[in-house]
Amino acid sequence: MADYRYVNLNIPEACLLADLVSQAEDLQATADWCDLALAEFSKGSSVVGLREALTNAAVVRYSRCFADGVRANITNSVLEGLPENQNKDHEFFIALRNKYIAHSVNAFEETKIVAYLVPEDVGPRGIETIGRQHLRLASLAAQDFYRLKALSLELHRQVSLIIHEEERKVLDAARKLPVDGLYSQVDPPMKVAGDSDVTKPRKRKPRKRQ
């Protein structure tokens, strides 16, 4: 049985394809985590902390597809293909990530310091003590998870169509490369990221745009 060896394709077309595959992975993971949250609702779980963790994880994972970074993000042309209600859902979940989960900006979180007054029938007027009241959105509702799941799966479908087209382009571009150079190519072993890599952006070659 033949043993097929692979080599890295260091061409712009391959960089774009890799970014698209990463986006598809994020969108599928978002849908999967929505399913986990919905399963908690269906069994009547009272573990709010788990639903809160799944809320944060799913919204952040979804938003990664649209954030500026080393990899290409999903383009506006893909979003424009969504129906109006899903475009509004997209805007809501991005704002939820930006204004609540990643940064404390909107009214979804509020902390007040209060003064407890001495009851007049107990003693002279005054402040007995102070207290803290912290309110925040603990979890998306079940319907919100359904919305996020549907949105993620629709975008996953559209990105998958682009991936199939880009795979064809990458194969065509790869077959134009000098074949002897590919057979003699020796790639460095895949590096396992460590603590020191947490602040270092990945180095990428220029990519072709969608």
- In the chain, which residue ranges form alpha helices assigned H by DSSP? 12-42, 48-63, 76-79, 84-96, 142-174, 179-184
Handedness of CA 69, 72, 75, 79 (dihedral sign): negative
**Which pLDDT score is estimated for 207?**
56
Question: How far apart (Å, rounded) are the C-alpha atoms in residues 109 and 125?
Answer: 32
**Burial label, 189 (beta-carbon count in 10 A; 0-12, 13-18, 19+):** exposed
What confidence tens digit (pLDDT) does each residue in 87-133 have? 999 999 999 999 999 999 999 999 999 999 999 998 899 999 999 99
pLDDT band at 43 (very low <50, low <70, confident <90, very high): confident
**pLDDT single digits (tens) 134-178:** 999 889 999 999 999 999 999 999 999 999 999 999 999 999 999
Average pLDDT over residues 68-86: 89
The pLDDT > 70 percentage for the chain reads 96
Separation in Å, CA 193 to CA 67, 80, 185, 190, 201? 22, 36, 23, 9, 12
Average pLDDT, the chain: 91
Confidence check: pLDDT of 203 > 90: no
Rounded Cα gap, residues 163 and 174, in angstroms? 16
Mean pLDDT to the nearest integer, 71-78: 86
Confidence band for 44, pLDDT divided at 50, 70 and 90: confident
Model confidence at 191: pLDDT above 70: yes
Contact between 24 and 71 under an 8 Å Cβ cutoff? The reply is: no
Nearest to 166 by CA among 117, 118, 207: 207
For residue 206, the model assigns a pLDDT of 57
Residues 122, 120: Cα–Cα separation, whole Å: 5
pLDDT of residue 210: 47
